[in-house]
Amino acid sequence: MASTQRRADRPRVPSIGDVAALAGVSAQTVSRVSTGSPSVRPATRERVLKAMTELGYAPNRAARALRVGTVESIGIVSQRHPRLADSLAVTAAAAAAQEHGYSVKLVEAPEPNPEGSDPAARLLSDIALDGLVLIRAGHAASADLPLPPGLPAVVADSRLAGRYPSVVCNEVRGAEEAISHLLQLGHRTVHHLAGPQDSHGANVRAATWRRCVARAGATAPEPLFGDWSPGSGYALGRELARDPDLTAVFCANDEMAFGLIRALREAGLRVPDDVSVVGFDDIPLAEYGHPPLTTVSLDFERLGRELVRVLAEQLSGPAPASVPRVVLPTRLVVRATTGPPPRA
């Protein structure tokens, strides 16, 4: 009874519904004002702010944002079903952002629809952010992605590099080292298990493979295109296993490489005694595969942190004279899936 009386005597805290009723708007509009969304008209914003003041409604971080003009929050955009490698970069970027004092909003971007509009852009228009980190797999962001006007952004390995500050890994150098390694072992040519044809990163790796094979005076077999997943590597690996000339395969990522290795093993082919395999990314599983995977190592922890560092510099300093571009090194990690071709 006493506790009931204490609850009855306690002053009622104003709710978002109270603010909405006083301002004559919807609760959703109040929420947008609280988060600093640019989609609210100035007159409506003033009416909501006045109602908040009258009622003593204080939406914590958002209230400070309305006073000082910053929400201390950055967005990280990634594909809805990212590669494991991209997930590692997202995790590192989120941790780095929090170390810099920013809260993080993760935006899962579905594939662009057939009409060409980008759902991620629509999602971002309703979120208040100080800046944006764009990490995408599969469909690289198109050159006309309508990011919110004036929003500082930094991108990773996408077609937006050059228009916005970017942090990229030296995929060209990594692919060159992988192909050179296989050719130096004595393989007459190298097959390629490529990523999706609409992926910028996959296209870079495929173009480098083709150029390196041609430079060596060899004929490049027709590439097979997967979707980054182990399942696609397995399905295409069953097809590759029927090629009597197959001795070496360069895979666009590690996950497809693992699927390929299983398919080769099921076909009675030994890795690396019969077929050598090189992956790309050096995901944590690579060194624990059976056999451990030779692959091109990309430092995704550093990638994520560099993305946030470059964005933080934009937010805290004057605009740079040119668009910043950071290129991170790659390195070939030789393990147990590569060796000389089998003797005829």
Burial label, 123 (beta-carbon count in 10 A; 0-12, 13-18, 19+) = middle
Instruction: Collapse the DSSP code of 34 into the 3-class scheme (helix H, G, I; strand E, B; otherwise coil) and give the result.
Output: helix
What are the residue ranges of CATH 3.40.50.2300 in the chain?
A: 73-168+300-328, 171-299
Assigned token pair, 231? 């399942």
Residue in 61, 151, 66, 154 with CA at minimum distance from that of residue 102: 61
Topology, domain 73-168+300-328: Rossmann fold (3.40.50)
* SS3 readout for 310-340: HHHHHHHCCCCCCCCEEEECCEEECCCCCCC
DSSP alpha helices (H): ranges in 80-218? 84-99, 119-124, 171-184, 200-215
34, burial (CB in 10 Å: exposed 0-12, middle 13-18, buried 19+): buried
| Per-residue CA distances from 274 to 191, 216, 252, 271, 292 (Å) | 14, 22, 20, 6, 16
Report the alpha-carbon distance of residue 288 to residue 265 in Å, rounded. 17
Q: What pTM was estimated for this model as a whole?
A: 0.78
pLDDT recorded at residue 338: 98
DSSP assignment of 212-250, as one string? HHHHTTPPPPPPEE--SSHHHHHHHHHHHTT-TT--EEE
Per-residue pLDDT of the chain (344 residues; tens, 9 = 90+): 444 443 344 455 577 788 889 999 988 888 778 766 777 888 998 898 888 888 877 554 444 454 445 667 898 988 765 678 888 999 999 999 999 888 898 887 665 554 444 556 666 666 778 888 988 744 544 454 566 667 888 998 656 667 889 999 999 999 999 999 999 999 999 999 999 998 888 999 999 999 999 999 999 999 999 999 999 999 999 999 999 999 999 999 999 999 999 999 999 999 999 999 999 999 999 999 999 999 999 999 999 999 999 999 998 878 777 888 999 999 999 999 999 999 86
Residue range(s) occupied by CATH 1.10.260.40 in the chain: 2-68
Q: What is the pLDDT of residue 227?
A: 93
Question: What class is the 171-299 domain?
Answer: alpha beta
CATH number of 2-68: 1.10.260.40
